[in-house]
Copies of this chain bind each other. A is one copy, B any other.
Amino acid sequence: MFEDKNSEKTNISDLGEFGLIEHLTQKIKLHHKSTVLGVGDDAAVISGDASVLTVVTTDMLVEGVHFDLGYMPLKHLGYKAVMVNLSDVFAMNAKANQITVSIAVSNRFPVEAIDELYAGIKTACEFYKVDLIGGDTTTSPTGLIISITALGTVDPKEVVYRSGAKDTDLLVVSGDLGAAYLGLQVLEREKQVFQVNPNAQPDLEPYSYLVERQLKPEARKDIVQLLKDLEVQPTSMIDISDGLSSEIIHLCKSSKVGCQLFEDKIPLDPQVISTCEEFNMDSTTIALSGGEDYELLFTVKVEDYPKIKGNPNLTVIGHMTQEQEGIHLITRAQTKIPIVARGWNSFE
């Protein structure tokens, strides 16, 4: 991204901390009347509303752990960092309203690089109609760290926890699974090819969907609205950040139920199937453990089935059971395998 030797580079120290904050936060557009005061004081101020609950979630992304700037453009990274947090807000069946953004950044980044990161952050704020209301900007001895906190609101009658699933509910997922993880594998492979032969021209066309799912995922705000339109109130919900298997286990443990997941129901994009064949990987394993799909996984009452049946955005992939029956995958061969969490874990 910064190969152009003629492009301007400004050292962050030329601006200083306050100068950088001023530079980054100028021309911030606010969308919500509830945002009384954004950036510029000791704290941001939000108006109170007794008719809603406030939801608060936070996520930290660390260079070398959650992203590799070798193939993740900074603008995409900024967008994704916001999106990852909004996904958690939507998983509460809530509206996202505000975010704070803190970054620690080493001196190797010029101001223009931070501008790119913030361009992505601001694009996400614009697209999801979220107000950037505060944050912190500091130096880091090495690498880039982004910590975002998102605030949202939800009608108390509509809030959805992980803990509300009943043993007869259906298990539903939005979109399709496994693509983001495979996108990462494709990018890792291309990076290695590039290291051996810098003149190699990668053909990413056959993997376009996978790469997009990795570099520019979208949080499923639309699914929250769709469920409202369909008059479906999920009984429990979680977003898929770490992989289907570990999210199912979270729902089951929180709700004290078991689950039967049907392998043949797991929604997969054709590119996932063909790339799994090429990489000699099992597509079910990828869907179960891949992570970063940012789809919504939720349960609905059986009587709501007619409302979601045939909807192209939603797939019934299983059903809940009594707790003592355990958590199982029913394979295509009709064998029953216990599901264990093998999703993303940054400490492994």
Q: Which residues of A contact B (CB under 8 A)?
A: 12-13, 15-18, 20, 36-37, 40-60, 62-66, 88-89, 91-92, 94, 98, 100, 102-104, 107, 133-136, 138-143, 145, 147, 149-153, 159, 161-163, 237-239, 246, 254, 341, 345-348
Contact = CB atoms under 8 A, between A and B. Distances in A.
A40 to B, nearest CB: 7
Given A65-B140, A139-B346, A92 B43 contact: yes
Contact of A162 (B42, B44, B59, B246): B42
A86 to B, nearest CB: 10
19 contacts: A20-B347, A36-B53, A37-B161, A41-B254, A42-B239, A43-B89, A43-B94, A45-B92, A47-B53, A48-B48, A48-B50, A48-B51, A48-B52, A54-B54, A56-B149, A58-B134, A60-B138, A64-B141, A145-B147
Contacts of A63: 141
Nearest to A34: B54
Copies in the assembly, this chain: 2
A186 to B, nearest CB: 24
Given A42-B88, A66-B138, A100-B149, A16 B347 contact: yes
Tell me which of A20, A36, A55, A348 has the highest count of chain B C-beta atoms within 10 A of its own C-beta: A55
B136 A59 contact: yes
A142 B139 contact: no
Tell me which of A16, A43, A152 has the highest count of chain B C-beta atoms within 10 A of its own C-beta: A43
B254 A40 contact: yes
A60 B147 contact: yes
Given A42-B89, A48-B49, A60-B104, 19 more contacts: A17-B345, A18-B345, A40-B162, A42-B57, A43-B55, A44-B55, A45-B53, A47-B53, A47-B54, A56-B100, A58-B147, A59-B102, A60-B103, A65-B140, A100-B149, A139-B347, A141-B143, A142-B143, A147-B147
Contacts of A37: 161
